[in-house]
Amino acid sequence: MVEVGQLLAEGKGKRIYATDDPRKAVVYFKDEAMAFHGLKRGRILGKGEVNNAVSRQFFQLLKKNGIENHYLEQIDSRQSLVWRAEMIPVEVKVRNRAAGSLSRRIGLSTGTVLEPPVLELFLKDDYLENPMVNISHILAMKLATKAEMDEICRTALRVNDIITAYMKEIGVEVIDFKLEFGRFEGRILVADEISPDTARFWDVRTHEPLDIDRFRRDLGNVEQAYQELLHRMMGMDDATEGDGGNA
Environment class of 26 (CB within 10 Å of its CB; exposed 0-12, middle 13-18, buried 19+): buried
**Closer by beta carbon to ligand UDP, 19 or else 59:** 59
Q: Whose CB is nearest to ligand UDP?
A: 100
**Closer by beta carbon to ligand UDP, 85 or else 156:** 156
Task: Tell me how crowded residue 67 is: count the other CB atoms within 10 A of its CB.
Answer: 16
DSSP β-ladder status, 4-10 and 14-19 = antiparallel
**Closer by beta carbon to ligand UDP, 144 or else 199:** 199
Helix axes 222-234, 47-64, angle to 10 degrees: 30
Residues near ligand UDP (CB under 6 A) are: 93, 99-102, 176-178, 198-200, 212
* Minimum distance from residue 126 beta carbon to ligand UDP (Å): 9
* Minimum distance from residue 205 beta carbon to ligand UDP (Å): 20
**Closer by beta carbon to ligand UDP, 19 or else 80:** 80
| CA angle, 51 then 55 then 58, to 5° | 145
Which run of H or of E encompasses 16? strand 14-19
* Minimum distance from residue 129 beta carbon to ligand UDP (Å): 9
**Closer by beta carbon to ligand UDP, 1 or else 113:** 113
User: Do 50 and 196 touch, CB atoms closer than 8 A?
Assistant: yes
* Minimum distance from residue 12 beta carbon to ligand UDP (Å): 7
CA 138 – CA 134 distance, rounded (Å): 7
**Closer by beta carbon to ligand UDP, 19 or else 202:** 202
* Minimum distance from residue 38 beta carbon to ligand UDP (Å): 10
Report the C-alpha dihedral over residues 218, 215, 62, 162, rounded to 10 degrees.
10
**Closer by beta carbon to ligand UDP, 110 or else 227:** 110
Backbone angles phi, psi at 53, to 5 degrees: -70, -40
Environment class of 126 (CB within 10 Å of its CB; exposed 0-12, middle 13-18, buried 19+): exposed
